[in-house]
């Protein structure tokens, strides 16, 4: 919306995001090939959400949004209300993860662990292997 202030505050690094948000967020362990390893990091209010956006090296309109919150549910954080033909649960590192997508791959990834809620919203299709590497 035009004229609406951006509720996110950009921060310099993950340590600053933790201090500003009060959320013990971590960066992804890896990102898909072709994406920058260093994300743009922002915070949505104290104790609401940390957002890390990883951009494609070639096409910066393609991105991977990774969000962490101790208040918002994963489905609310991802903001993707599309209906996907493939929806299932997978287990990675003993954690049940809900993935949604189509026959090309997954576009949303949602889970909770140790009091925090997580989601990934991807402009590119992700495989189970991609997700395993990231987490």
- Cα-atom radius of gyration of the chain, to the nearest Å? 14
Question: Tokens 């743009």 appear where?
Answer: 40
Residue pLDDT, tens place only, 78-127: 788 899 999 999 999 999 999 999 999 999 999 999 999 999 999 999 99
Residue pLDDT, tens place only, 50-82: 999 999 999 989 999 999 999 888 878 878 889
| Cα-based distances in Å from 58 to 33, 65, 120 | 11, 17, 20
The pTM of the whole model exceeds 0.85: yes
Q: In angstroms, rounded to a whole number, what is the distance separating the alpha carbons of residues 111 and 93? A: 12
Helix, strand or coil for residue 77? helix
Helix, strand or coil for residue 3? coil
Q: In angstroms, rounded to a whole number, what is the distance separating the alpha carbons of residues 106 and 20? A: 31
């Amino acid at each position: 919306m035009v004229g609406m202030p951006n509720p996110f505050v950009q921060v310099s690094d993950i340590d600053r995001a933790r201090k500003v948000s009060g959320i013990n967020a971590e960066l992804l362990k890896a990102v898909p090939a072709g994406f920058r390893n260093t994300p743009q990091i922002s915070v949505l209010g104290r104790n609401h959400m940390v957002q890390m956006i990883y951009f494609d090296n070639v096409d910066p309109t393609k991105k991977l949004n990774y969000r962490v919150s101790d208040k918002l549910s994963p489905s609310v954080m991802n903001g993707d209300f599309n209906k996907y033909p493939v929806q299932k649960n997978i287990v990675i590192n003993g954690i049940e993860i809900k993935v949604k997508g189509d026959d090309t791959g997954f576009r949303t990834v949602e889970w909770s662990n140790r009091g925090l809620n997580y989601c990934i919203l991807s402009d590119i299709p992700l495989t189970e292997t991609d997700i395993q590497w990231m987490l």
